[in-house]
Every structure is written in structure tokens, then in C-alpha cells.
Amino acid sequence: MDLMQLLQGQLSDDLLGQMSNQIGADKQQTAVAANGVFATLLGGLANNASSEGGLASLGAALDRDHDGSILDDLMGMVGGMMQNDQQTSSSALNGSGILGHILGDRQEVAAQQISQNSGLNMSQVMKLMPILAPIVMGVLGRAKNQGGLDMGGLAGILMGSAQNAQSGGFGDLIGSVLGGVLGGGQQQQASGGGLLGNILGGIFGKR
């Protein structure tokens, strides 16, 4: 199961058009930026899941708030978030909160790199990231539920998907963004060892 492919599959032409209109951007540039956001968040989630505490927190968040039901009407979700600020009233749609958990206080570092890769300006990327973050959690929650995955299985899929994203054209983005954003990456690699260290070493090894 490749979560990056599942995420890209959510980006219908109509949804891209809606998001592009909301942030005032070209549709193709929005698609490039969206893929960059997806890759960055998958890498961040894989890094978080490399520790026992991070994996437990992720599992609790998925069970509590992210069952994947938001994927049934993404057009409505995106429209509601932009028009009614619903992300502040629902944990499942709290894009800013999700970004905070995954990227910490270095979200602007990620946005700057995605801006350079996509051609969108920083303001447009910062508007796009909270819209896409709930989609990432929704896809992850649905994959966990439909696949009957325990947390170990979910962690393996996250790490494999992040590795695939790296080898599939997002390597420079993941390495440069997460190398700066997730300062604890190398320490977590050291404690993870074995397969975990080999996988995350390629993703978070750049500084």
C-alpha cells in the first residue's frame, strides 16, 4: 500500500480547481504544491512513528478523530473549511493543529521549500497546507481501518510510503525540508536501528 498514491488519487480535477480558486493560484502549480505537502507530511509522520510515544499518539489521534469519513465529500470539506473556518471547530478538520503535531514550529521552513518547488508564493502555500493536512490523516485513518492494521503495520506502511515518495521525485524536498524541520530525526534513527534506521536514514539523512 502506497499512501502517496492514495493521496494523489484524492486530487480530482474539480478539487484542484476549487483549491486553486481559493488560494488564487494556477491549477498545475497547486497540484505540484499539493504533492509536495503530501510528501512532506508523510515523511514527518514516518519520523514521528519511529518512536514508541509518537506512534502511540498517532494511533490515538486516528482512533479518536480520523476514521476517513471526510474523504467521502472532499469538495464539501474544502469549501466548508475555507468559508466557515470549520477547522477550528472539528478535530478532524483542524489542519493547523495537525500541522503542528507533524511539523512542529517549523512549518514555514516546509512552506518555503514547497514554494520554491511549485512556484506558489509563501502565502498561497500556507493557505494550502491546512487544507491538505486533514486529507492526509483521513487517508491514513481509512487505510488503517480498512486494512485492519495494527500500529506496527501502520508504521511500516508510513515508512515505506515515505521512502517511495523520496525515490519517486520528492527526495530533494523531503531531505531538505525535513532535514531542517525535524531536528530529532538522526537521534530517532539511532534508537530505531535495523530496518527502521535504514529506511529513515535515506529520508532524513540530509542536513
Dump pLDDT digits (tens) for 72-120: 999 999 888 877 654 445 777 889 999 999 988 778 888 998 999 899 9
For residues 105 and 162, which has the higher predicted lDDT (pLDDT)?
A: 162
Is 173 a residue whose pLDDT tops 60?
A: yes
Mean pLDDT value across the chain: 80
Q: Which of 87-91, 124-128, 160-164 has the lowest mean pLDDT?
A: 87-91
Which of 76-85, 117-126, 183-192 ranks highest by mean pLDDT? 117-126
Q: Do 51 and 196 touch, CB atoms closer than 8 A?
A: no
Q: Do 65 and 134 touch, CB atoms closer than 8 A?
A: no
pLDDT on residue 24: 93
Is 190 a residue whose pLDDT tops 60?
A: no
Three cell numbers written together for 103 = 511539523
Is 49 a residue whose pLDDT tops 80?
A: yes
Is 47 a residue whose pLDDT tops 60?
A: yes
User: Stretch 150-173: mean pLDDT, rounded?
Assistant: 80
Cβ-proximal residues to 32 (8 Å cutoff; 6+ apart), any chain? 117, 118, 119
- Rounded to whole angstroms, the Cα distance separating 4 from 70 reads 18
pLDDT on residue 58: 92
- Rounded to whole angstroms, the Cα distance separating 206 from 180 reads 9
Is 192 a residue whose pLDDT tops 50?
A: no
Q: What 3-state class would DSSP assign to 193?
A: coil
CA neighbours closer than 13 Å in the CB half-sphere of residue 21: 11
Is 33 a residue whose pLDDT tops 50?
A: yes
Q: What is the dihedral of CA 21, 133, 174, 164, to 10 degrees?
A: -100
Three cell numbers written together for 204 = 532524513
For residues 179 and 35, which has the higher predicted lDDT (pLDDT)?
A: 35
Q: Is the pTM of the predicted complex or chain greater than 0.85?
A: no
Domain range annotation of the chain: 3-204
Long-range contacts of 72-75 (CB under 8 A, 24+ apart): 74/10, 74/12, 74/15, 74/135, 75/14, 75/15, 75/18
